[in-house]
Structure 1
Amino acid sequence: MNRKRASILVDASNSGGGSNILAQYLNDKLVEFGHSCFFVVPKQFTKELNRSYQINSFGPFDPRRQAAIEKLATQYKPDSILSFGNIPLRKRFPNCRHLTFFHNAYLLPGLAPKAIPLRVRLRILAIQLSIKFLKVNTDTWIVQTNFVKGRLAKWLRLEDGKVVVAPFFRPPQFSIDAQNINHKLDLFYPSNFSYHKNHCNLIRAISWCQDHNQRFTLGLTLGEVADPSFQSALNSAISNGADIRLLGTISHDQVFSVMRESKAVVFPSVLETLGLGLVEAATLKKPVVASNTNWIDEIVSTDYKFDPSSPESIGRTIIRCLSEEEQKPAIRRIEDKIDVVCDLLSGYAC
């Protein structure tokens, strides 16, 4: 297929965690298709991109961030601008398509966890107001699931065709041979810390298993977490004899390696837009122990589901999964649609 070659500016200045991985993958594919792309990324962005401009990690409301984007847009004169961080740009540019990648479901009204601190709730409210006010500056919204599409379209009263479901994720870079793996962890949870990620209940579940004479090794991609509830749950579990290992921030390739060598992947999150770890675990044909929520069935199919609000339910499901002689691998239900994203940015799909 011959695609139109386009110049594309991507504002990924507020990316982090899984969105960094997606930004890298998008960059690689745009270059592969012959597009001229330019990424604006935070200074702590560690991956090498084809062409990028690093700025300080300004907040979404900082005028310096918008000024940097305006300067580059004026200089670069792109055919398309993609806002990679949920919030549309504060102004439109002439002769240019404007797209927004919405990938934080907890920004949708009514979906943020109830236990989050007031300061976080107020920040979410401010972002929601900004999205509603600036929605006129986006021609097309890109989301990763139909669950998010329905919620976003209803909230912003978007017309049919304004929201496109196009999940994208980089496949594992190595061949999969599930028969020749030396498991080093019983359970692996690849996720940064956020309240909707539900780390505390997972740790309490591991402690519950310990109380019932079931000892499992849990690996978390976390370092120091300055959250009192997390520290309390972690200290209590460790004092109870639980084997919980904080692996720190590891590379995406290292995540694949640890995941491949683990017996199962656990995903207690109460809300996700996609759940990159879920997709990757299913791609690697790993058993997945996950929350029984209405968004997860669109992403993967698994026999091991629990109530994410109950450490006992999490613990019982972990025990059931790891005690089976032949664990059932999760089945991935979505496909990589990076081609659709690239076509939207180039104008091919318009």
Structure 2
Amino acid sequence: MFLAWNEMKSAKLRFLLIIGVLTLMSYLVFLLSGLANGLAELNREAVDQWRADAIVLSDESNINLPQSSMTIQAAQNISAKNKAQIAQVLLVARKRGTKIKESVAITGIQKDQFLMPKVSEGRAFNRINEVVADDSLKADGLKIGDKLNISSSDQKLIIVGFTKKAKFNAAPVLYTTLSTVQNIKYGNGNISRKGLINGVVLRDPNFANLKVASKLKLTPIESFIENMPGYTPQKISLDFMIYFLFVIVSVTIGIFLYVLTIQKVSIFGVMKAQGISSGFLIRSVIAQTFLLALFGVFVGFVLTTITGLFLPAAVPIQLNIPVLAVYGMIFIFVATLGSLFSVQTIVKIDPVKTIGG
């Protein structure tokens, strides 16, 4: 470590450039991690707020809430004690008298069940066509009292409150009554379909013991989230980019250190002639790589944190410190692993040939 540190102090510019490259790479890894977490959160944050264990959907829905359909009678026959009925439709809402449009997930629930969100501003809905909206809609100019026109429907909604963290599959949620969603989907006059909902959400750790009808499917909430359209492919793609960056880091640092080792062959030869072992020199190179990676990761983490503070709210980034810490350790490990490219070169150095003997 002493030799590694002293060499870094004597050739500051050379090693600062290497630290700079490692900083940029770690910065990119951390930003991609934050983006992956942020995009995942956009898809699932409303579901996370339910604090549910499972959901019951129709067997033919492909674990997709808007595509599911069941009768209220079938929902009532589910034997779980803590359950909540839910109906949902994905449409476009437009603020009346303006061109402000937003794709929304209009979600019907019962006010006295656990799906009812905590209202952060305004009040809860009390009547048909009143909604509690995700507070991200305020950034689009919507406020309490605004009236919304709904695409493909003659229903008019009015915002009476806002709630935090209510996005479903990246769409802001409008919580309202079951009757409101049924009127939007089927119209006021279609009495025969008013008894239909989309699913039943369960808050029961022992849900696996429940029996449901043959036309229904009981799904753990995590599996439900993973089957949201685009959720898993998007997450896998971003995670793959991060893992591939780790490979690039290992190769890059290996090339840098190999070149540096070649440049120092004569110095290493003299040191070997003085009795310094190959093992000592190898440990010095590994220690040097560890220090370089440590500095690079630290600066990259600081830059990522500062960037996260100044990015606009529209950028879906969420920095998870434990995850970043793990990625930082992996980054340091693969960078140190890259230093092993130089081991064979150090071992093969012949001190006699180096000093011209």
With the length of structure 1 as denominator, give the TM-score of the two structures: 0.24
Higher relative CO (CA 8 A, sep ≥ 6), structure 1 or 2? 2
Whichever of the two has the greater Rg, that structure is 2
Going by fraction, where is helix more abundant, 1 or 2?
Answer: 2
With the length of structure 2 as denominator, give the TM-score of the two structures: 0.24
